[in-house]
Amino acid sequence: MDRKVVVPGDLLSEDAKRSGEGTYIKDGSVYSLLYGLANYRDKINVIPLAGKYMPAPGDNVIGVVKDITFSNWIVDINSPYDGLLHISEFPKRIDSDEMSKYLRIGSSIMTRVKDVDPTMKVELTLNDRKLGPIRTGQVIEISHTRVPRLIGKGGSMISMLKKEVNCSIFVGQNGRIWINGCTDDTDLALKTIALIEREAHTNGLTDRIVSFLKAEKEARS
């Protein structure tokens, strides 16, 4: 079998030397980084099947309000499917005629996918104190297929990054990332995230990121 569909975390080989694009190595074995097609040759490469982000319940995402109806904000979540944020999922009780006062068209929000039904109706919520409108900082966008690498196993990579760059960072599974900090710290965060995205498929990334951050900080001091 030369090819098969795999999901992130699938074991592909116990031979680390076979690690190619779209894979990562852990404890000497090769795992899939992406949802895609694994190509088994000398090197194992995983070609992404999903070009666009597909929402799943529990996903944290960053969205942009694109329309307002009687009881819902319609939210672009960087997916073929819009998200629906019902007025009841706003963290405070408001009337429908006040909706645009709290979230207007063009507003960016940190939100969570509450539910996705079989017809791909995507329901969002803001009922968590970590969620809400974005009023400061900046939002950048990377490929959603690189998000697992940015977060790291058990959140290890993103936790280290937040600590080292001294910024608030919210990572959306849809590839949008909010960063808030002083100018120098934000610039360092942007550089580091760009490096992670560019080299997500390579081995020894964590060590290289640690060395990169150390060198950047020494250059600044």
**Residue 103 has what pLDDT?**
96
What SS3 state is found at 70?
Answer: coil
**Residue 49 has what pLDDT?**
65
Whether the CA torsion 22, 50, 158, 14 is positive or negative: it is: negative
What SS3 state is found at 173?
Answer: coil
**Residue 63 has what pLDDT?**
97
Distance between CA atoms of residues 200 and 205, nearest Å? 7
Sheet holding 3-6, edge to edge: 3-6, 36-40, 44-48
**Residue 2 has what pLDDT?**
67
Q: Which of 91, 47, 51, 94 is nearest to 70 (CA)?
A: 94
Q: Give 110's contacts (C-beta < 8 A, 6+ positions apart).
A: 60, 62, 130, 131, 132, 133, 134, 170, 172, 178
Q: Which of 131, 117, 219 is nearest to 178 (CA)?
A: 131
For residues 197-216, average pLDDT: 87
Flag the least confident range among 61-70, 132-141, 148-157.
148-157
pLDDT bracket for residue 120 (50, 70, 90): confident
pLDDT bracket for residue 9 (50, 70, 90): confident
Q: The domain 60-133: what is its CATH number?
A: 2.40.50.140
Domain residue limits, the chain: 3-48, 60-133, 138-220
**Residue 110 has what pLDDT?**
98
Q: Which residue has the higher pLDDT, 152 or 7?
A: 152
Distance between CA atoms of residues 192 and 200, nearest Å? 12
Residue with tokens 């076979």: 18
Flag the least confident range among 70-74, 101-105, 114-118.
114-118
Tokens of 3: 């090819």
Q: What is the DSSP letter of 191?
A: H
CA dihedral 82, 104, 114, 128 (to 10 degrees): 150
**Model confidence at 50: pLDDT above 70:** no
Flag the least confident range among 153-167, 172-186, 191-205.
191-205
Fold agreement between 60-133 and 138-220: no
Q: The domain 3-48: what is its CATH number?
A: 2.40.50.100
Global pTM? 0.75
Q: Which residue has the higher pLDDT, 58 or 218?
A: 58
Q: What is the homologous superfamily of the domain 138-220 according to CATH?
A: K Homology domain, type 1 (3.30.1370.10)
User: Mean of the per-residue pLDDT values for the chain?
Assistant: 90
**Letter for the amino acid at 106?**
G
Which helix (H) or strand (E) segment holds residue 183: the answer is: helix 183-198
Q: Length of the chain, please? A: 221
**Model confidence at 88: pLDDT above 90:** yes
Q: Which of 154, 145, 141 is nearest to 194 (CA)?
A: 141
